[in-house]
Amino acid sequence: MLSKLIYILPGIALLLFALNVYFKGNSVQSCLLFILSFLPLMDLKITNEAWGGFKIFDAICVYSFIFLLKDFITINLYNRNNFYFLLFVLFAVIVLLGGLASEFPSKAYLNFFKIMPIFVFARFFLSECYKDPSFFYKAIRALKISYIIALSVLFIQVIVGLKFTFYPELSPNTIDPVFHIVRYPGVFYDSQASGQYLALGSFLFLYIEEGATRKQYLLNYMVFVLAIIGISLAGSRAALGGFAVGVVIVFFMAAKQYRAYGIVAGIAAYLIFAFVSVQNGVFDRAKNLSEDFIFRQSIWKEAFEISKRHPWLGIGTGNYQNYVIRHAQGQYLEVADGQLVYFDQPENGYLKIMSETGFIGFFIFTLFLIVPLMKGLVFYLKGLYDKKVAFIMAGLVSWLIAFNTVYSIYDYRILIMVVSMIVFIIAYPIEENDVEVAAE
């Protein structure tokens, strides 16, 4: 079904973007809200791999950078975040120098240009949140819309089968040939990426604006419960583990009323999840958990050895598979018909970044994640952020845990969601009276 539309969907998406600019104006807000509202389409390719494999998100960000350049270069002296800009510049330099030192420079240079769109997006997003505080809430609503679309596709897929997909071929891990288990990927190519996205975005439905009606509360909590079912259907144990840690964070940080709602939603979710897991047997794979861990551990050790051999600049971004084929040929899987597929990531997002960008690049990458989380925690403890910031922090932490098992930010939809969570924490609304107290 949808797989037959893979070649025209990008064109439809770009046409919708053109109509969005025409009717809603050529502004930063209209471009950002389009990206967030139509997030499931942002990773679709508009060129083939021979032409760089550029995607819809790339095209929109390039357009925004060119035609909204004035907004991009405008600096708000009151809300500058030069630290994050400096981090990006340093990371870009590492990627560029890593390409110069790499055995496979062409792919590293291509990846250098591909990190620019997400920087453009983040720069616009952060600036707009500072310029217009109401945009913070608009962005959350837009992400909720796109999340519901993605979740709906997954449930439709459960009913009609895996042919209902954006991709002509899905990841080999979608169907487990040993346990005969289907792991539903939804709008994604890979079911693990789907699980990470669902866990990451689910906590947005606990963030409900002041003055919401009882019906709005119930609808948001219902989606939160359905999200847990979606995670189980994706069959991602790491995503579920990250989600569980996020729930614990919410329980300890959020206000009492949210804990009560969370307990009710959690009980309902557990009962439904228990039924789903029994029916599809997804987590029967845990019987081989020790073997799976030993297998992954061997790959992790080799990836760390690669990092130690190239400590400063790494092997070049996007070059893990090329490097493995030449220097670590034991990292492969045997698929159907005896074909060998070499790993393009070491079953660990952090180790992939470490091996491809070196220890310096890895350190910069972790600062992008740790510094906003620390700011959110400190401001929460000081009372500058309200307790609902816990929901956003919990979502980001859930992804940080799941990222330990698979590199997922190759997919723009997850990368955009992660960056959005970081921006939400950095630009979280501060009440005027809190600002006055902090100043004193």
Q: Residue 119 pLDDT > 60, yes or no?
A: yes
The per-residue pLDDT for 367 is 96
Q: Which of 269, 262, 263, 24 is nearest to 142 (CA)?
A: 24
Q: Tell me which residue of 242, 259, 241 sits closest to 250, measured CA to CA.
A: 259
Q: Is the pLDDT of residue 402 over 60?
A: yes
Name the percent of the chain lying above pLDDT 90: 52
- pLDDT band, residue 289 (cuts 50/70/90): low
412-426 and 134-160 helices, crossing angle to 10°: 150
Distance separating alpha carbons of residues 430 and 369, to the nearest angstrom:
21
Residue 363, CA atoms < 13 Å, CB-side half-sphere? 8
Instruction: Please name the amino acid found at residue 346.
Output: P
Average pLDDT in the 329-344 region?
A: 73
CA 376, distance to chain mean position in Å, is: 19
Contacts of 300 (CB under 8 A, 6+ apart): 346, 347, 348, 351
Number of domains in the chain: 1
Residue 293 lies in a domain: no
Give the per-residue pLDDT at 435.
46
Most confident of 173-182, 274-283, 291-300, 357-366: 357-366
Q: What is the mean pLDDT of residues 386-395?
A: 94
Query: By C-alpha distance, which of 187, 196, 217 is closest to 13?
Result: 187
Please, which residues have CB within 8 angstroms of residue 420's CB and are 6 or more apart in sequence? 36, 125, 139, 143
User: How would residue 49 be classed by pLDDT, with cut points 50, 70 and 90?
Assistant: confident
**What contacts 257, CB < 8 A, 6 or more positions away?**
none
Domain presence at residue 135: yes
Full residue range of the structural domain in which residue 409 is found: 2-288+346-439
| Least confident range of 269-273, 357-361, 372-376 | 269-273
325 part of a folded domain: no
What pLDDT shows up at residue 273?
58
Q: How confident is the model at residue 207 (pLDDT cuts 50, 70, 90)?
A: very high
Task: Name 333's bridge partners.
Answer: 341
The answer to the question of residue 326 being in a domain is no
Residue that wins the pLDDT comparison between 432 and 355: 355
Mean pLDDT for all residues in the chain:
85
Which residues are paired to 176 by β-bridges? 181
What is the mean pLDDT of the segment spanning 11-38? 95
- Res 326: pLDDT: 87
Q: Please name the residue that has the structure tokens 């720069």.
A: 123
Residue 309 lies in a domain: no
* pLDDT of residue 436 exceeding 50: no
Judged against a pLDDT cut of 50, whether residue 133 lies above it is answered with yes
* Residue 169's pLDDT band (cuts 50, 70, 90): confident
pTM assigned to the model: 0.91
Give per-residue burial for 19-43: e unless 16+ CB within 10 Å, then b: ebbeeeeeebbbbbbbbbbbbbbbb
Residues 6+ apart with CB under 8 A from 248: none
Instruction: In whole angstroms, give the CA distance from residue 416 to residue 224.
Output: 20
Percentage, residues of the chain above pLDDT 70: 84
In 3D, which of 186, 146, 193 has the Cα closest to residue 166? 186
- Residue 2, both tokens: 């949808």
Confidence of residue 328 (pLDDT cuts 50, 70, 90): confident
Per the domain annotation, does 393 fall within a domain? Answer: yes
> What pLDDT, on the 0 to 100 scale, is given for residue 48?
85
What is the per-residue pLDDT for 439? Answer: 37
